[in-house]
Amino acid sequence: MTTIKKYLSLIKFSHTIFAMPFAMIGFFLGVQFLHSNHLSLEKNILGINSVMYFLILVVLCMVFARSAAMAFNRYLDYKIDAINPRTAVREIPSGVISPQNALIFTLFCCLLFVACTYAINKLCFYLSFVALFVVLFYSYTKRFTALCHLILGLGLSLAPIGAFVAVTGVFKILPVLISLLVLTWVSGFDIIYALQDEEFDKKNNLNSIPALLGKKKALQLSSFLHLITALLIITVGIVYLNSIYFWIGAFLFMGMLIYQHSIVKPDDLRRVNIAFMTANGIASVVFAFFVILDIFLKS
């Protein structure tokens, strides 16, 4: 395995598919906001105000922030992962990557993230330290609260509002609502994923919703969070993005939420990974496609 592949595996790079589409929604909502208000992108420190330039920076911010968060999580949890049969094959406990190198990689990604935010605008630069605190702090939360799933959701929910602020330099309600639906969506499917470790978490004094409530009630709470997600999507559609394209994406997204809950049962976790990766990956990409298509057609 090459060094690049080792680190891509360490950070589960394919999981970027969860938040990146929503970052793109935030970005293009920002571009639409500027266009509708007859404003232009602010020039960055190099005097550049190209949409493509800012798009590249937003993508890099997403990649570096998520990579830092994931690598730090693997570093902090490598001793726990080593005694969990499900995670013992991960890169650090299996010896593929050393803990020290994972920590160095984390710091490197943090520096690159901050540098990219500085190249966008001062507000993003100042907020970058808050964002890093949230996404890195998540890794500690399983040690003291079952609300760790919500902290993970909060970390990923920064993507759309962060991308919007990168383009516009201001806060608006619509990207905040998009961020809230990401928070409840991610928290809900992370609870489903955590079902696999219910017994392990209990035995090792780790906190999670399944360990606290049991599988059945954990799934009920996940369903409730995804119901809130659906209500937020409907609110966004009715109040802001009421078009046929938005509603196609919205109903397909909500359909995937229903699907993942239909294939995972308290006594049957065989398809948890399908619910976690496949259903949610498809949901995010499809929803973003139709929302961005709607934005382009309105511009």
Question: pLDDT of 13-26, one tens digit each?
Answer: 878 888 999 999 99
Task: Point out which residues pair with 265 in neighbouring strands.
Answer: 268
Place of tokens 């970058």: 128
Which one-letter DSSP state was computed for residue 145? -
Place of tokens 């999981």: 15
Range from 3-7, 134-138, 248-252, 283-287 carrying the lowest mean pLDDT: 3-7
Please report the pLDDT score of residue 45 as a whole number.
59
Considering the domain 14-294 in this protein, what is its CATH number? Answer: 1.10.357.140
Confidence of residue 47 (pLDDT cuts 50, 70, 90): low
The more confident residue out of 133 and 275 is 133
**Cα atoms found within 13 Å of the Cα of residue 269, Cβ hemisphere only:** 14
SS3 265: strand
SS3 268: strand
Task: Point out which residues pair with 268 in neighbouring strands.
Answer: 265
Please report the pLDDT score of residue 278 as a whole number.
87
pLDDT in tens, 222-260: 999 999 999 999 999 999 999 999 999 999 999 999 999
Please report the pLDDT score of residue 48 as a whole number.
65
* pLDDT over 90 at 12, yes or no: no
Q: Decide: 70 and 12 in contact? Cβ < 8 Å.
A: yes
Please name the residues in contact with 19: beta carbons below 8 A apart, sequence gap of 6 or more.
62, 66, 156, 159, 182, 186, 284
Please report the pLDDT score of residue 44 as a whole number.
64
Handedness of CA 137, 142, 145, 149 (dihedral sign): positive
Token pair, residue 291, equals: 């929302």
149, burial (CB in 10 Å: exposed 0-12, middle 13-18, buried 19+): buried
Residue 288 to residue 24: CA distance in whole angstroms? 7
Please report the pLDDT score of residue 41 as a whole number.
75
Please report the pLDDT score of residue 290 as a whole number.
97
- The whole-model pTM stands at 0.94
* pLDDT over 90 at 11, yes or no: no
Query: How confident is the prediction for the chain on average, in pLDDT?
Result: 94
Q: 261-283 burial by CB neighbour count: b if 16+ within 10 A, else e?
A: beebeeeebeebeebbbebbbbb
Confidence of residue 286 (pLDDT cuts 50, 70, 90): very high
Please report the pLDDT score of residue 164 as a whole number.
96
Please report the pLDDT score of residue 40 as a whole number.
76
Q: Decide: 271 and 3 in contact? Cβ < 8 Å.
A: no
Place of tokens 């929503």: 22
